[in-house]
Structure formats: C-alpha cells, structure tokens
A = this chain, B = another copy of it.
Amino acid sequence: MPCSIITLTTDFGVGSPYVAQMKGVILSINTDVSLVDITHEIAPQDVRSAAQVLDEACRWFPEGTIHVAVVDPGVGTERPLVCASLGCQHFIAPDNGLLSLVLRGADPIRIIRLADRRYWRKEVSSTFHGRDILAPVAAYLSRGVSPDAFGPRHDQLVSLDFSCPVRTSHSITGKITSIDSFGNLISNIDSSMLPGDALRASVRVRLGSHEVQGLVSTYGNGTPGSLVALIGSAGRLEIAVVGGDAAQQLHARVGDEVLVFLPC
C-alpha cells in the first residue's frame, strides 16, 4: 500500500534551498505526499548526531513512513546508498552509520543497495545524491514501488559504536549525548537502568563538580534556578535548571561524563 509521509533529516542548515530542491524532486514524482522536516540543523557531517536524532524521531511516526536522511560526507565516493526496511518503516540513507541506532531497536526485514538507475534522476551529480538518488527513490517507494526494485540485497549496514553506560552495583557511568534548545542535558542513561519510583529520591546524580540529590518528575518541580535531575521525554536521565539553561550555567558539553550513585 502506498505511503504518504516522507521525512527529511539533513545537515544542510535551516533555510537551505538544498532542502527545497529535494522536496521539488519528490513532489515531481508524487504530488500526494506529506513532507515533514525532522531537522536540518545537524552539525555539518555529524553522522553520529544525525543517527541519534533520527532514532528518537522515527518512533513517533506511523507505520509506512519513509525517512530520508542525508548527512553524507562521502557523497560521490564508493559508500553505498541503501533502503532499509526496519519494523514497519523505511529508511533511505547513505550506509555510513546513520542508521546505527534505528537498527538496534527494530526488526530488519530487508536492506537494499540502491543500484537501479531507473529510479534515479536522469542526470546524477557527484555532489548531491540526496537530491539525485535518495529523493526520487523515496518518492517511487511512496508510490508503491517495491524496495526490491531498487537494487540487490545489501548484507550489513555500517554500525557506529555508541558506547552504553557502565553499571556497577553502586553506580552508573554514562554521558551527555545531546543538549536541546532549552539547554537541558540529555544523557544516554535509560530510565530502565534506574531504580523504581520509590527509590528515586535516594539517587544522586553528578556532573563535573555539581551534584543533585534525587530525581524530580518534571522541570517545574524545584525552585527557579536550581539544578534538577529527571527522566526526560525520550525516557532518559536529564539534568536541567528550573526555568533556566543548564548547558550554559554548568558549561556542559556533549560527551561530558554523568555519574549516578544508586541507593544501597
């Protein structure tokens, strides 16, 4: 059954006309498609960060959604382009690690290497495969073309190493993996690693020289300006400043270590 949603994740920068060029190519092939921007604010060529954003966004979209991701430092070189059908969604991207995290949680049905030029634009530039290959393939897929038409099976996707938090009986050592526009510091420590609600007041969270006692349930639960720890909307441990910007106030960065001391 044809799908009508195509999302775009790129490092082109907001306001880049490159995004519009991709949309024009898609709409030239299928007018009846809903285009949704996930983000175009990935730092240039930051494949790891794009892998995270895509993984967290895709789960909110319906079955059948086609996600196109273009963070492609190797454009025009030998790296393959793929269409990966994972769970009930499709991902069209260069095989450079962009799908590392999406792949983890999903059930891979099939991965196809894009090879059949009938589904590409007639003229393919060597510097913008997002527009000339990925966009038209996504559009044909949304019109109901089977992924198998796009090329041969592709054995395995490149998988980047996203280190997991380390857990001992008394502590968890994780790190900040992203910072949102409010300055909230989002870690890679999943709520499932933390003790149940009853014990959350006893947890201590340390970031650099700062320490927070206990978890609160939401940002507003604390005096304005105070540091709090909580489970954020992605289900992971976050450090925030009530009504403020934690990243700025703590001079924190992606990669900083987060230490959780568990109650005995």
Contacts and interface: CB of A to CB of B under 8 A. Distances in A.
Interface string A1-38: 00011010001111111101111110110010011111
SS of A interface (majority): loop
Nearest to A59: B24
Given A45-B243, A233-B125, A73 B220 contact: yes
A83 interface: no
- Most B CB atoms within 10 A — which of A14, A20, A21, A73? A20
Interface in A183-241: 217-221, 230-233, 235, 238
Contacts of A182: 11, 44
B75 A44 contact: no
Interface residues of A, number: 66
Interface in A116-143: 125-128, 131-132
A8 to B, nearest CB: 10
A233 to B, nearest CB: 3
A256 interface: no
A20 B41 CA distance: 13
Contacts of A126: 217-218, 230-231
B36 A15 contact: no
Contacts of A125: 231-233, 235
A56 B61 CA distance: 31
In the complex, the count of this chain's copies comes to 3
Given A4-B31, A74-B220, A127-B232, A41 B14 contact: yes
A177 interface: no
Contacts of A40: 15
Given A16-B180, A31-B5, A217 B76 contact: yes
A5 B34 contact: no
B61 A38 contact: no
A250 interface: no
B73 A243 contact: yes
Of all A-B residue pairs in the complex, the 3 with the closest CB atoms, nearest first, are: A76-B218, A13-B181, A15-B41
14 contacts: A13-B181, A21-B56, A22-B60, A23-B36, A24-B36, A24-B58, A27-B61, A28-B60, A44-B182, A125-B232, A125-B233, A127-B230, A127-B231, A131-B233
